Amino acid sequence: MGTRRLGKFGLVLVGALGGVLISLGLTAAAQRGGPLPLKELQQFANVFAAIKGSYVEPVTDKQLINDAIKGMFSDLDPHSSYLDEDAFKEMEAITQGGFGGLGIEIGSEDGMPKVISPIEDTPAARAGILAGDVITKIDGKPTKGMTLNDAIKLMRGEPNTRIVLTIQRAGRDKPLEVPIVRDIIKVRSVRSKMLADDIAYVRIAQFQERTVEDLTKALGTLSADKKPKGLILDLRNDPGGLLDSAIGVSSAFLKPDVLVVSTKGRIPSSNREYYAKPADYMRGYFDDAASKSGAKVSDWAKTVPMVVLVNVGSASASEIVAGALQDHHRAKVLGNRTFGKGSVQSVLPLSDDTGIKLTTARYYTPSGRSIQVTGVEPDVTVDDTAKGNLFRLPREVDLERHLSNASFAEGENKTPSEDAPEAEAKMFEFGGSDDFQLQQAINLLEGRVVMRNDPSLVANADKPKADEAKSSKATDKATDKATDKAKAKDSKKSQAAEKKTPMTGNGEQIERFKITPDGLVPLQQ
Question: pLDDT tens digits, the chain, 525 residues: what are they?
Answer: 443 343 333 344 444 333 333 233 333 444 455 688 899 999 999 999 999 999 999 999 989 998 898 888 888 888 888 888 777 777 776 666 556 788 887 776 777 888 876 776 789 988 988 877 899 999 999 999 887 778 888 898 888 999 999 999 877 889 999 999 999 877 778 999 999 999 999 999 888 888 998 998 899 899 888 899 999 999 998 888 888 899 999 999 999 999 999 999 888 888 999 999 876 335 444 445 444 444 455 689 999 999 999 998 898 899 999 999 999 999 999 999 998 888 888 878 888 888 888 888 899 999 999 998 889 999 999 999 998 887 766 677 777 677 777 776 666 544 433 444 444 556 678 898 999 999 999 999 999 999 998 887 776 655 544 454 444 444 444 444 544 554 454 444 444 433 333 333 343 444 555 555 555 556 554
Beta carbons within 8 Å of 378's beta carbon, 6+ residues apart: 310, 333, 334, 335, 336, 337
Backbone conformation region of residue 509, classed left if phi is above 0, alpha if psi is from -120 to 50, else beta: beta
Q: Give the separation between CA 231 and CA 307, rounded to whole angstroms.
A: 6
Are 467 and 365 contacting, i.e. CB atoms less than 8 angstroms apart? Answer: no
* Beta bridge pairs of residue 335: 310, 381
Q: Give the separation between CA 307 and CA 327, rounded to whole angstroms.
A: 13
Q: Give the separation between CA 87 and CA 345, rounded to whole angstroms.
A: 15
User: Which amino acid is located at 471 in the chain?
Assistant: S
Backbone conformation region of residue 15, classed left if phi is above 0, alpha if psi is from -120 to 50, else beta: left
Are 240 and 262 contacting, i.e. CB atoms less than 8 angstroms apart? Answer: no
pLDDT 10s digits, 355-403: 888 888 899 999 999 998 889 999 999 999 998 887 766 677 777 677 7
Catalytic residue among 114, 217, 332, 341: 341
| 64-67 own/partner pairs: CB under 8 Å, 24+ apart | none
Catalytic residue among 117, 245, 298, 316: 316
What angle is formed at CA 95 by the lines to CA 210 and CA 324, rounded to 5 degrees?
70
* Distance (Å) of CA 276 to CA 205, 211, 265, 353: 21, 16, 22, 33
Are 194 and 391 contacting, i.e. CB atoms less than 8 angstroms apart? Answer: no
pLDDT 10s digits, 466-482: 454 444 444 444 444 54
| Known catalytic residue at 227 | no
- Residues composing the chain: 525
Q: How many CA atoms within 13 Å lie on the side-chain side of 353?
A: 6
Domain 190-345+360-445 CATH class label: alpha beta
* Beta bridge pairs of residue 344: 361
522 three-class SS: strand
First-residue to last-residue Cα distance in the chain: 62
Where are the alpha helices (H) located in 446-501, listed in sequence order?
A: 455-462, 473-500
Catalytic residue among 327, 353, 383, 454: 327
Q: Give the separation between CA 214 and CA 243, rounded to whole angstroms.
A: 16
| Known catalytic residue at 288 | no
Q: How many CA atoms within 13 Å lie on the side-chain side of 453?
A: 22
| Known catalytic residue at 316 | yes
C-alpha torsion sign, points 415, 418, 423, 426:
positive
Are 318 and 359 contacting, i.e. CB atoms less than 8 angstroms apart? Answer: no
Domain-by-domain residue ranges, the chain?
2-94, 98-186, 190-345+360-445
CATH topology of domain 98-186: Pdz3 Domain (2.30.42)
